[in-house]
Chains A and B, each alone.
Chain A
Amino acid sequence: QVQLVESGGGLVKPGGSLRLSCAVSGFTFSDYYMSWIRQAPGKGLEWVSYISSSSSYTNYADSVKGRFTISRDNAKNSLYLQMNSLRAEDTAVYYCARDRGNWDSDWDYWGQGTLVTVSS
Chain B
Amino acid sequence: RKEVEQDPGPFNVPEGATVAFNCTYSNSASQSFFWYRQDCRKEPKLLMSVYSSGNEDGRFTAQLNRASQYISLLIRDSKLSDSATYLCVVTPNNNDMRFGAGTRLTVKP
Q: Do A and B come from one complex?
A: no
